[in-house]
Chain A
């Protein structure tokens, strides 16, 4: 099968959806001729013009606020926030407007929009340029959350997100843009709310999403060399969450480790652990554990960033400890 990068896969999704539906348009900082900070929208302005690939000024409040306004009046905007850290600037617009305006205004209008934003550490970004803020939105009713880990999913999930009638916060990981993977030429979508089992195993379940899926797979390979077979579940979306797949895997292995790059307290792992223990309390052979960053702001120095980040070694160690319980 054809191999393309995560970045190209995202671009194809945008292009195909813009061709398919004239209501879809892009809006964000430097997304036009410059093609976006991570070059995802490169070339799209040549195909669709300035009318549908709109450079805004440096003002996230209006990028998202205007997105909501356009979405509730018949358009389907795809808004780009240059880095996920800047969601703070438009938090009200995402959390309260995009997430709630449908419900609070009589459940008639839809807010069909996508908020694309790159997240994660990539060396030396520091506390305000490296974060993974998905948990903030997990807590907010009305929002959906996608976090693709492969080029295939990047394309399929973005297409699904654009077609969805609800606001989707779409997290791309900075370290994945150059990742190559198989992506068919034919049209497909990856539905929101369907997890993927990336590796089967019976000893322990590792739940992961986004870049950490790759860390989980690396850890699983290393563990397999020592006779431990881990099942790696890529959640793909946190809302909707594929509870069925998660519980089926947990029921099978009776041991669950959750890994995410974001810090632990109040992270997505807390929600996942709570769901699993609510449903499978008597089935589990050990407590559900989390491998996450510590609850500190992300340090700039590479020497500290390395200590900060969860990785395959930390994950392997956690799995070993869990199996010893």
Chain B
């Protein structure tokens, strides 16, 4: 069943916000405002937004290194995301996390620098929700490369055995850094692993936001009803390099182009117009609003201070009693 118009508009708005914000980040990175390595999720928007919009504010999210869209989808403001990436004191992790984004106020529990470390943490968040008797759901993300780590199998099996409310989401974009899927696994679908753990495994077109949304809603319903985890695999493609300094020469330009033709946002726009859900005027005004929001985020981040030197020593322990000297 087609979601209500307000949900459709929300999906569209958030996908656009993700795209525009990440495009702005390409520029800010090039200009040197964002340090370190930047991994963008341009091309993944249907998955990052389609799976986070259906979550409640009190649900948990443990995304991975391409987490801008997921954070936006869960409700982290664009301005604090950007400030964090720019190492500013106003960032959602006080400038201390940077690429390791988090915002506990909306259930974003952080990212693991070591890929896959987040998967077992999600199992623990699901365990906690179950033990505390809430119906909170945890969604966790990883690529097809990371799905070959032991912690994926450990996390998913334990969640399955304990019927935990955890949704495991594989964003399969065909490449793990430079390595094509065909070099690292013999089967076509990561979701096939679900069979081995006795839980549902679903493959969706990861560029079709409505298909993603629907699969996620089913998984959420199962999880809230105490029926345990689901493994969802979305097939998609990252448009940029693995990170912003990677020219991604290992991919055939024709392949990249073919996937760009399948742009998840364009596709959704065409659908919304064909079904007369939003008028061209409405669409234009949403685009303007989103552009405005991104511009405000950029201004906010650029005008934000860097953390004070003392901040370096603050917050290592929740209870610093007896710890005299961190220096």
Interface residues of A (CB under 8 A from B): 29-30, 33-34, 37, 55-61, 85-86, 88-89, 123-129, 294-297, 299-304, 307-308
Residues of B within 8 Å of A304, CB to CB, are 87, 95-96, 306-307, 309, 311-312
A89 touches B114 (CB 8 A): yes
Residues of B within 8 Å of A85, CB to CB, are 113-114
A interface footprint on B289-309 (CB within 8 Å = 1, 0 otherwise): 000000000000000001101
B185 touches A302 (CB 8 A): no
Residues of B within 8 Å of A127, CB to CB, are 96-97, 100, 113
Residues of B within 8 Å of A61, CB to CB, are 149-150
Describe B's contact surface by its main secondary structure: loop
Residues of A within 8 Å of B98, CB to CB, are 124, 126, 300-301
A308 touches B113 (CB 8 A): no
A58 touches B149 (CB 8 A): yes
Having A296-B326, A297-B96, A299-B96, one finds 8 other A-B pairs with CB under 8 Å, namely A30-B179, A57-B184, A123-B35, A124-B99, A125-B36, A300-B84, A301-B91, A303-B309
- Of all chain A residues, which has the CB nearest B176? A58
Describe A's contact surface by its main secondary structure: loop
Known A-B contacts A86-B114, A128-B100; A302 and B316 likewise in contact (beta carbons under 8 Å): no
Select one of A89, A123, A297, A308 contacting B36, CB under 8 A. A123
Counting CB contacts under 8 A, is B285 at the interface? no
**Least Cβ–Cβ distance between A189 and chain B, in angstroms:** 32
Residues of A within 8 Å of B183, CB to CB, are 55, 57
**Least Cβ–Cβ distance between B96 and chain A, in angstroms:** 5
B99 touches A33 (CB 8 A): no
Residues of A within 8 Å of B271, CB to CB, are none
A interface footprint on B22-37 (CB within 8 Å = 1, 0 otherwise): 0000000000001111
Known A-B contacts A59-B149, A88-B114, A89-B114; A303 and B176 likewise in contact (beta carbons under 8 Å): no
- Of all chain B residues, which has the CB nearest A121? B36
A interface footprint on B189-206 (CB within 8 Å = 1, 0 otherwise): 000000000000000000
A58 touches B116 (CB 8 A): yes
Highest count of chain B CB atoms <10 Å: which of A61, A88, A301:
A301
Interface residues of B (CB under 8 A from A): 34-37, 84, 87-89, 91, 93, 95-100, 112-117, 143, 145-146, 148-150, 176-179, 183-185, 250, 306-307, 309, 311-313, 316, 326-327
Select one of B95, B114, B150 contacting A128, CB under 8 A. B114
In the assembled complex, the Cα of A127 lies from the Cα of B111 at a distance in Å of 11
In the assembled complex, the Cα of A37 lies from the Cα of B88 at a distance in Å of 28
**Least Cβ–Cβ distance between A266 and chain B, in angstroms:** 14
A301 touches B114 (CB 8 A): no
Highest count of chain A CB atoms <10 Å: which of B91, B250, B309, B312:
B312
A-B CB contact pairs (8 Å), 7 listed? A33-B250, A58-B145, A85-B113, A123-B35, A128-B114, A301-B88, A307-B309
Select one of A34, A88, A129 contacting B37, CB under 8 A. A129
Highest count of chain A CB atoms <10 Å: which of B36, B88, B116:
B36
In the assembled complex, the Cα of A297 lies from the Cα of B96 at a distance in Å of 9
Select one of A30, A34, A295 contacting B316, CB under 8 A. A295
B37 touches A125 (CB 8 A): yes
A58 touches B309 (CB 8 A): no
**Least Cβ–Cβ distance between B35 and chain A, in angstroms:** 3
A126 touches B115 (CB 8 A): no
In the assembled complex, the Cα of A170 lies from the Cα of B255 at a distance in Å of 38
